[in-house]
């Protein structure tokens, strides 16, 4: 028996990254902007998507992939807004992986312009998995507290934009909007920050404009 | 707690490498885990111990080297180790930084018996 040391130097999540890169290489040049929504459970991802649907759907084609541990509930909520939606139930897993998205791609209509992925509610694990998105948004709801960015640095450091949700509750909470924004910017100075309320509609138009601009930029990059 | 999925991906690579080398056994697995990788080394260790049973690495041990976050300033080119998650260059105050180390989740080396 001989002992042998092998230098491997391989990314453990390399196989996920490979699939994610393939998804991006297919969808981005086809004009489909994939947006990955990350947040804790109950921070308002589905409610925000419902609001986005009201503003975006009249002029653009959108579709949604919902990730949850169990139930079809979120996809049903989105379908009620007239938006095609697919539910991935992970059966216990705390995050979505690129291969789960890849499996669904044949079902996504080719005329789709925006494909939103609502990740499993969890501010830790989904941050490690590239899903082939061109835009990653992290949501932070006001009731969660303004100290979250430093507690969950990976999610905030890998995101392109921070969406503060449930802003209508800020007057009733010890939530310092400036502190939350500054903490997030210390971790990730390139973060775009949006302050929204899905209940009252605050900030939704700006956010939708940002998605539309990001898609235009993506198309120009691939032209 | 996605450490078990990560360990499952790790074992896919381990089994492939062991097959390529016609190894009898994997005896040591060395990982490099960045502080900003989003993974907890202790959980990775426990997940590894559960997963290795009845595999080619059943009697192997896992060594994890934790890699601190190192940034490089695109403006003044200085490099700094960061442990506070404040991504501002301490030399010139710029925010235009590149993370050059500390996000990795790497299978670095393995020891095999062939």
ipTM score of complex: 0.91
Residue A23 to chain B, least CA–CA distance (Å)? 19
Q: What is the pLDDT of residue B61?
A: 96
Cα A128 to Cα A193, B48, B71: the distances in Å are 21, 18, 19
Domain assignment of residue A95, given as a range:
14-222
List, for residues A154-211, the tens digit of each pLDDT value.
999 999 999 999 999 999 999 999 999 999 999 999 999 999 999 999 999 999 999 9
Region B77-93: mean pLDDT is 91
Question: Domain B3-113 belongs to what topology?
Answer: hypothetical protein PF0899 fold (3.30.2320)
Quick one: pLDDT band at residue B83, thresholds 50, 70, 90? confident
Quick one: pLDDT band at residue A93, thresholds 50, 70, 90? confident
Chain pair A-B, CB pairs under 8 angstroms: 105
Q: What is the pLDDT of residue B100?
A: 95
Q: What is the pLDDT of residue A5?
A: 95
Q: What is the pLDDT of residue B103?
A: 94
Cβ distance of A12 and B108 shorter than 8 Å:
no
Q: Does residue A2 lie in a domain region? A: no
Say if residue A98's pLDDT is above 80.
Answer: yes
Tokens representing A213? 């601009």
The sign of the CA dihedral B28, B29, B32, B33 is: negative
Place of tokens 């996809």: A75
Q: Which of A4, A15, A93 sits opposite B21 (nearest CB)?
A: A4
- Contact between A33 and A211 under an 8 Å Cβ cutoff? The reply is yes
Q: Does residue A3 lie in a domain region? A: no
Which segments of A99-212 are extended strands (E)?
A: 114-118, 135-141, 161-165, 192-195
List, for residues A13-30, the tens digit of each pLDDT value.
999 999 999 999 999 999
Cβ distance of B17 and A8 shorter than 8 Å:
yes
Three-state secondary structure of A166-185: CHHHHHHCCCCHHHHHHHHH
Region A110-125: mean pLDDT is 95
- Based on the structure, what is the number of domains in chain A? 1
Q: Which residues of A119-151 are buried (b: 16+ CB within 10 A; e: fewer)?
A: bbbbbbbbbbbbbbbbbbbbbbbbebebebbee
Q: Does residue A167 lie in a domain region? A: yes
List, for residues A54-84, the tens digit of each pLDDT value.
999 999 999 999 999 999 999 999 999 999 9
Rounded Cα distance, A182 and A176, in Å: 10
DSSP string over B55-101: STTTT-EEEEEEEPEEEEETTT--EEEESS---S-TTT----EEEEE
Check which CATH number belongs to the domain holding A152 and give it.
3.40.50.300
């Amino acid at each position: 028996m001989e002992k042998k040391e092998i230098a491997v130097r391989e990314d453990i999540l390399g196989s996920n990254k490979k699939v994610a890169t393939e998804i991006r290489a297919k969808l981005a040049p086809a004009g489909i902007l994939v947006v990955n929504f990350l947040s804790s459970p109950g921070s308002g991802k589905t409610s925000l998507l419902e609001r986005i649907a009201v503003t975006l759907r009249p002029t653009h084609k959108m579709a949604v992939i919902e990730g949850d541990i169990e139930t079809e509930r979120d996809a049903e909520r989105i379908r009620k807004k007239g938006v095609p939606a697919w539910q991935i139930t992970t059966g216990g897993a705390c995050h979505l992986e690129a291969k789960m998205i890849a499996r669904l791609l044949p079902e996504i209509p080719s005329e789709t312009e925006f494909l939103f992925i609502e990740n499993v509610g969890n501010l830790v694990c989904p941050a490690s998995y590239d899903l082939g998105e061109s835009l990653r948004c992290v949501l932070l709801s006001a009731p969660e507290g303004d100290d979250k960015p430093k507690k969950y640095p990976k999610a905030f450091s890998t995101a392109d934009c921070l969406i503060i949700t449930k802003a209508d509750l800020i007057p009733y909470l010890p939530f310092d909007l400036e502190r939350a924004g500054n903490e997030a910017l210390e971790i990730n100075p390139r973060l775009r920050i949006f302050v929204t309320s899905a209940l009252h509609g605050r900030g939704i138009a700006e956010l939708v404009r940002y998605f539309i601009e990001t898609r235009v930029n993506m198309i120009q990059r691939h032209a | 707690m996605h450490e078990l999925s990560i360990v499952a991906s790790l074992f896919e690579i381990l089994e492939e490498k062991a097959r390529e080398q016609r190894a009898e056994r994997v005896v040591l697995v060395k990982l490099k885990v960045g502080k900003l990788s989003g993974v907890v080394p202790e959980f990775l260790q426990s997940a590894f111990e559960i997963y290795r049973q009845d595999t080619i690495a059943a009697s192997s041990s896992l060594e994890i080297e934790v890699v601190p976050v190192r940034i490089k300033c695109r403006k003044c080119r200085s490099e700094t180790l960061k442990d506070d998650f404040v991504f501002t260059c301490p030399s010139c105050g710029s925010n235009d930084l590149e993370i050059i180390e500390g996000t990795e989740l790497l299978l670095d080396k393995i020891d095999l018996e062939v």
